[in-house]
Amino acid sequence: MEAMRFIDSHFHGLGMAARGIELGRLFGDLEGLGFAGGLDIGTRCDDLEKRIETIRPLSDKVLFTLGSGPWALQADADENEGKPIFSIDRIMEILKESLRLNPCSIGEIGLDYHWDYGTREQQRELLERQLDLAYENALPVVIHCRDAMEDTLSILSAHKARGIIHCYSGSPSQALELQRQGWMISFAGNLTYPKARSLEESLACLDLSSILIETDAPYLAPQAYRGQVNSPLLILETYRKAAAIKAISVEKMGEIATGNFERLLGLSKEP
Ligand SMILES: [Zn+2]
Protein backbone atom coordinates (compact mmCIF):
# COMPACT_ATOMS: atom_id res chain seq x y z
CA MET A 1 0.00 0.00 0.00
CA GLU A 2 1.32 3.46 -0.89
CA ALA A 3 2.14 5.78 1.99
CA MET A 4 -0.92 7.97 2.31
CA ARG A 5 -3.30 9.22 4.94
CA PHE A 6 -6.68 7.53 4.86
CA ILE A 7 -9.70 6.84 7.02
CA ASP A 8 -12.24 4.02 7.21
CA SER A 9 -15.58 5.55 8.14
CA HIS A 10 -17.32 2.26 8.91
CA PHE A 11 -16.13 -1.09 10.25
CA HIS A 12 -17.16 -3.63 12.87
CA GLY A 13 -14.14 -4.55 15.01
CA LEU A 14 -15.79 -7.35 16.98
CA GLY A 15 -17.27 -8.73 13.75
CA MET A 16 -13.80 -8.92 12.22
CA ALA A 17 -12.42 -10.61 15.34
CA ALA A 18 -15.25 -13.17 15.21
CA ARG A 19 -14.15 -14.03 11.66
CA GLY A 20 -10.55 -14.64 12.61
CA ILE A 21 -8.89 -11.25 12.17
CA GLU A 22 -6.37 -10.56 14.92
CA LEU A 23 -7.19 -7.00 15.94
CA GLY A 24 -3.87 -6.21 17.66
CA ARG A 25 -2.01 -7.04 14.49
CA LEU A 26 -4.57 -5.28 12.28
CA PHE A 27 -4.31 -1.94 14.07
CA GLY A 28 -0.53 -2.28 14.26
CA ASP A 29 -0.35 -2.82 10.50
CA LEU A 30 -2.77 0.06 9.85
CA GLU A 31 -0.66 2.42 11.96
CA GLY A 32 2.31 1.82 9.65
CA LEU A 33 0.25 2.48 6.52
CA GLY A 34 -1.05 5.96 7.29
CA PHE A 35 -4.36 5.10 8.96
CA ALA A 36 -5.64 8.46 10.17
CA GLY A 37 -8.94 7.47 11.73
CA GLY A 38 -11.83 5.07 11.76
CA LEU A 39 -15.29 4.50 13.12
CA ASP A 40 -16.06 1.29 14.95
CA ILE A 41 -19.76 0.81 14.44
CA GLY A 42 -22.22 -0.63 16.93
CA THR A 43 -24.53 -3.42 15.88
CA ARG A 44 -26.40 -3.85 19.18
CA CYS A 45 -27.62 -1.34 21.73
CA ASP A 46 -25.58 -3.06 24.47
CA ASP A 47 -22.20 -3.61 22.73
CA LEU A 48 -20.40 -0.28 23.27
CA GLU A 49 -18.55 -1.09 26.49
CA LYS A 50 -17.10 -4.32 25.11
CA ARG A 51 -16.05 -2.62 21.85
CA ILE A 52 -14.24 0.16 23.70
CA GLU A 53 -12.54 -2.31 26.08
CA THR A 54 -11.37 -4.41 23.14
CA ILE A 55 -10.23 -1.77 20.66
CA ARG A 56 -9.17 1.33 22.60
CA PRO A 57 -5.96 -0.30 23.92
CA LEU A 58 -5.03 -1.21 20.32
CA SER A 59 -5.50 2.16 18.58
CA ASP A 60 -5.97 5.79 19.54
CA LYS A 61 -7.33 6.56 16.07
CA VAL A 62 -10.63 4.71 16.41
CA LEU A 63 -13.86 6.39 17.51
CA PHE A 64 -16.98 4.54 18.61
CA THR A 65 -20.64 4.85 17.68
CA LEU A 66 -23.62 3.75 19.75
CA GLY A 67 -26.83 2.54 18.21
CA SER A 68 -29.27 -0.15 17.28
CA GLY A 69 -29.92 -1.18 13.68
CA PRO A 70 -33.30 -2.53 12.56
CA TRP A 71 -32.03 -6.11 12.97
CA ALA A 72 -32.66 -5.68 16.73
CA LEU A 73 -36.36 -6.04 15.88
CA GLN A 74 -35.88 -9.53 14.51
CA ALA A 75 -37.37 -12.36 16.50
CA ASP A 76 -34.46 -14.31 17.93
CA ALA A 77 -35.53 -17.94 18.05
CA ASP A 78 -32.35 -19.10 19.79
CA GLU A 79 -31.93 -16.51 22.47
CA ASN A 80 -35.36 -15.36 23.45
CA GLU A 81 -38.22 -17.77 22.72
CA GLY A 82 -38.91 -16.27 19.32
CA LYS A 83 -39.15 -12.65 20.49
CA PRO A 84 -36.68 -9.83 19.85
CA ILE A 85 -34.05 -9.68 22.60
CA PHE A 86 -35.11 -6.18 23.66
CA SER A 87 -38.27 -4.12 23.17
CA ILE A 88 -37.86 -0.70 21.55
CA ASP A 89 -38.43 0.95 24.94
CA ARG A 90 -35.70 -1.18 26.50
CA ILE A 91 -33.33 -0.48 23.60
CA MET A 92 -33.79 3.24 24.15
CA GLU A 93 -33.13 2.85 27.90
CA ILE A 94 -29.91 0.94 27.25
CA LEU A 95 -28.76 3.51 24.69
CA LYS A 96 -29.40 6.37 27.12
CA GLU A 97 -27.47 4.57 29.87
CA SER A 98 -24.60 3.97 27.44
CA LEU A 99 -24.19 7.66 26.58
CA ARG A 100 -21.97 7.93 29.67
CA LEU A 101 -19.31 6.11 27.59
CA ASN A 102 -19.14 9.13 25.26
CA PRO A 103 -19.82 7.68 21.81
CA CYS A 104 -18.90 10.06 18.96
CA SER A 105 -22.14 9.43 17.11
CA ILE A 106 -25.37 7.41 17.03
CA GLY A 107 -25.29 4.47 14.60
CA GLU A 108 -25.70 2.49 12.73
CA ILE A 109 -29.42 3.14 12.62
CA GLY A 110 -31.87 3.00 9.77
CA LEU A 111 -34.27 1.08 7.61
CA ASP A 112 -33.74 -2.27 5.91
CA TYR A 113 -36.69 -3.41 3.82
CA HIS A 114 -34.60 -6.13 2.17
CA TRP A 115 -34.93 -8.25 5.31
CA ASP A 116 -38.08 -8.54 7.41
CA TYR A 117 -36.74 -7.12 10.65
CA GLY A 118 -39.95 -6.56 12.63
CA THR A 119 -42.57 -4.45 10.84
CA ARG A 120 -41.74 -1.39 8.78
CA GLU A 121 -43.59 0.73 11.37
CA GLN A 122 -41.31 -0.66 14.09
CA GLN A 123 -38.22 0.02 11.96
CA ARG A 124 -39.31 3.61 11.42
CA GLU A 125 -40.07 4.09 15.15
CA LEU A 126 -36.65 2.77 16.19
CA LEU A 127 -34.94 5.03 13.66
CA GLU A 128 -36.90 8.14 14.59
CA ARG A 129 -36.40 7.71 18.33
CA GLN A 130 -32.64 7.37 17.80
CA LEU A 131 -32.59 10.44 15.53
CA ASP A 132 -34.23 12.33 18.40
CA LEU A 133 -31.68 10.92 20.85
CA ALA A 134 -28.85 12.08 18.58
CA TYR A 135 -30.35 15.54 18.23
CA GLU A 136 -30.90 15.92 21.99
CA ASN A 137 -27.25 15.05 22.55
CA ALA A 138 -25.87 17.05 19.59
CA LEU A 139 -24.38 13.92 18.01
CA PRO A 140 -24.13 13.03 14.32
CA VAL A 141 -25.68 9.78 13.11
CA VAL A 142 -24.60 6.90 10.87
CA ILE A 143 -27.45 5.79 8.62
CA HIS A 144 -27.97 2.27 7.29
CA CYS A 145 -30.38 2.08 4.35
CA ARG A 146 -31.21 -0.96 2.27
CA ASP A 147 -34.08 -0.98 -0.24
CA ALA A 148 -35.68 1.88 1.69
CA MET A 149 -34.27 5.11 0.26
CA GLU A 150 -37.64 6.84 -0.21
CA ASP A 151 -38.72 6.39 3.41
CA THR A 152 -35.21 7.15 4.65
CA LEU A 153 -35.12 10.44 2.75
CA SER A 154 -38.53 11.52 4.03
CA ILE A 155 -37.69 10.65 7.67
CA LEU A 156 -34.28 12.35 7.52
CA SER A 157 -35.66 15.52 6.00
CA ALA A 158 -38.25 15.70 8.80
CA HIS A 159 -35.56 15.48 11.52
CA LYS A 160 -32.74 17.86 12.30
CA ALA A 161 -30.15 15.13 11.77
CA ARG A 162 -26.66 15.26 10.30
CA GLY A 163 -23.95 12.70 9.70
CA ILE A 164 -23.11 9.83 7.36
CA ILE A 165 -25.14 7.84 4.87
CA HIS A 166 -23.19 4.59 5.10
CA CYS A 167 -22.55 2.15 2.22
CA TYR A 168 -24.39 4.40 -0.20
CA SER A 169 -26.77 2.50 -2.45
CA GLY A 170 -29.19 5.11 -3.80
CA SER A 171 -29.38 6.90 -7.14
CA PRO A 172 -27.29 9.90 -8.26
CA SER A 173 -30.25 12.27 -7.80
CA GLN A 174 -30.86 10.98 -4.26
CA ALA A 175 -27.15 11.46 -3.52
CA LEU A 176 -27.42 15.08 -4.63
CA GLU A 177 -30.51 15.59 -2.46
CA LEU A 178 -28.70 14.14 0.59
CA GLN A 179 -25.70 16.36 -0.15
CA ARG A 180 -28.01 19.37 -0.33
CA GLN A 181 -29.29 18.44 3.15
CA GLY A 182 -25.69 18.40 4.40
CA TRP A 183 -25.04 14.67 4.63
CA MET A 184 -21.70 12.94 4.07
CA ILE A 185 -22.06 10.06 1.61
CA SER A 186 -19.86 7.06 2.39
CA PHE A 187 -18.87 4.60 -0.34
CA ALA A 188 -17.91 0.99 0.43
CA GLY A 189 -16.15 -1.83 -1.43
CA ASN A 190 -19.14 -2.42 -3.71
CA LEU A 191 -18.02 0.73 -5.57
CA THR A 192 -15.32 -1.53 -7.09
CA TYR A 193 -17.76 -4.17 -8.35
CA PRO A 194 -18.31 -4.49 -12.11
CA LYS A 195 -22.03 -3.65 -11.81
CA ALA A 196 -21.50 -0.43 -9.85
CA ARG A 197 -22.43 1.98 -12.65
CA SER A 198 -25.04 3.87 -10.62
CA LEU A 199 -22.69 4.16 -7.62
CA GLU A 200 -19.95 5.48 -9.91
CA GLU A 201 -22.36 8.10 -11.25
CA SER A 202 -23.39 9.07 -7.71
CA LEU A 203 -19.80 9.56 -6.66
CA ALA A 204 -19.03 11.47 -9.85
CA CYS A 205 -21.79 14.02 -9.25
CA LEU A 206 -20.99 14.74 -5.58
CA ASP A 207 -18.66 17.44 -4.31
CA LEU A 208 -15.40 16.08 -2.93
CA SER A 209 -16.33 17.68 0.40
CA SER A 210 -19.29 15.24 0.80
CA ILE A 211 -17.43 11.96 0.22
CA LEU A 212 -16.24 9.37 2.73
CA ILE A 213 -14.74 5.93 2.09
CA GLU A 214 -15.40 2.84 4.21
CA THR A 215 -14.99 -0.93 4.27
CA ASP A 216 -18.05 -2.11 6.26
CA ALA A 217 -15.58 -4.84 7.30
CA PRO A 218 -15.90 -7.76 7.84
CA TYR A 219 -18.43 -7.49 5.00
CA LEU A 220 -18.23 -6.28 1.39
CA ALA A 221 -14.60 -6.93 0.46
CA PRO A 222 -13.58 -5.00 -2.69
CA GLN A 223 -13.62 -6.79 -6.04
CA ALA A 224 -10.06 -8.18 -5.91
CA TYR A 225 -10.79 -9.81 -2.53
CA ARG A 226 -14.45 -10.66 -3.03
CA GLY A 227 -15.67 -13.48 -0.81
CA GLN A 228 -12.86 -12.95 1.72
CA VAL A 229 -13.21 -11.47 5.20
CA ASN A 230 -12.87 -7.72 4.67
CA SER A 231 -10.66 -5.47 6.80
CA PRO A 232 -9.50 -1.84 6.67
CA LEU A 233 -6.23 -3.16 5.20
CA LEU A 234 -8.16 -3.78 1.96
CA ILE A 235 -9.62 -0.28 1.65
CA LEU A 236 -7.08 1.13 -0.82
CA GLU A 237 -8.79 -0.50 -3.81
CA THR A 238 -11.93 1.52 -3.02
CA TYR A 239 -9.87 4.71 -2.65
CA ARG A 240 -8.25 4.01 -6.03
CA LYS A 241 -11.61 3.55 -7.70
CA ALA A 242 -13.00 6.76 -6.15
CA ALA A 243 -9.87 8.67 -7.13
CA ALA A 244 -10.12 7.41 -10.72
CA ILE A 245 -13.77 8.52 -10.96
CA LYS A 246 -12.82 11.97 -9.67
CA ALA A 247 -9.63 12.09 -11.78
CA ILE A 248 -7.42 12.86 -8.78
CA SER A 249 -4.54 10.95 -7.17
CA VAL A 250 -5.28 8.29 -4.57
CA GLU A 251 -3.22 10.28 -2.06
CA LYS A 252 -5.44 13.31 -2.68
CA MET A 253 -8.57 11.16 -2.26
CA GLY A 254 -7.13 9.98 1.06
CA GLU A 255 -6.48 13.56 2.21
CA ILE A 256 -9.98 14.64 1.23
CA ALA A 257 -11.79 11.76 2.95
CA THR A 258 -9.64 12.25 6.04
CA GLY A 259 -10.44 15.96 6.12
CA ASN A 260 -14.17 15.30 5.71
CA PHE A 261 -14.11 12.69 8.47
CA GLU A 262 -12.28 15.01 10.87
CA ARG A 263 -14.57 17.92 10.08
CA LEU A 264 -17.75 15.87 10.65
CA LEU A 265 -16.55 14.50 13.97
CA GLY A 266 -15.09 17.77 15.23
CA LEU A 267 -11.50 16.53 15.09
CA SER A 268 -10.08 19.08 12.67
CA LYS A 269 -8.02 22.04 13.73
CA GLU A 270 -9.39 24.19 10.93
CA PRO A 271 -12.79 25.88 11.44
ZN1 LIG B 1 -22.15 -1.79 9.08
Q: Judge residue 34's burial from the number of C-beta atoms within 10 Å of its C-beta, 0-12 exposed, 13-18 middle, 19 or more buried.
A: middle
pLDDT at 77: 53
Q: Is the pLDDT of residue 250 over 90?
A: yes
Task: Please tell me the distance between residue 146's alpha carbon and the centre of ligand 1 in angstroms.
Answer: 11
pLDDT-above-90 percentage for the chain: 90
Is residue 265 over pLDDT 80? yes
E strand map for 129-223: 141-146, 163-165, 184-187, 211-213
8 Å CB contact between 212 and 184: yes
Structure confidence by residue, pLDDT tens digits, 194-225 = 999 999 999 999 999 999 999 999 999 999 99
CB 64 within 8 A of CB 42: yes
The rounded Å distance from CA 11 to ligand 1 centre is: 6
Q: How far is the CA of 28 from the centre of ligand 1 (A)?
A: 22
Q: What is the pTM of this model?
A: 0.95
> How far, in Å, from the CA of 247 to the mean position of ligand 1?
28
Helices 197-205 & 172-180 angle (0-180, nearest 10): 30
| Residue scoring higher pLDDT (209 or 81) | 209
Percent helix, strand, coil in the chain, to 5, is 45, 15, 40
Distance 188 CA to ligand 1 centre (A): 10
Task: From residue 104, give the alpha-carbon distance in Å to each of 121, 212, 263.
Answer: 27, 16, 13
Express each pLDDT in 15-58 by its tens digit. 999 999 999 999 999 999 999 999 999 999 999 999 999 999 99
- What residues flank ion ligand 1 with Cβ within 5 A? 216
What mean pLDDT do residues 229-253 have?
97
Distance, CA 33 to ligand 1 centroid (Å)? 23
- The alpha carbon of 83 and the centre of ligand 1 are apart by a number of angstroms equal to 23
> What residue ranges define each of the domains in the chain, with the CATH number in brackets?
6-264 (3.20.20.140)
Identify whether the C-beta of residue 84 lies closer than 8 Å to the C-beta of residue 73.
yes
The pLDDT, as a whole number, for residue 1 is: 46
- Among 129, 123, 122, smallest CA distance to 111 is for 123
Residue 268 binned pLDDT confidence (cut-offs 50, 70, 90): confident
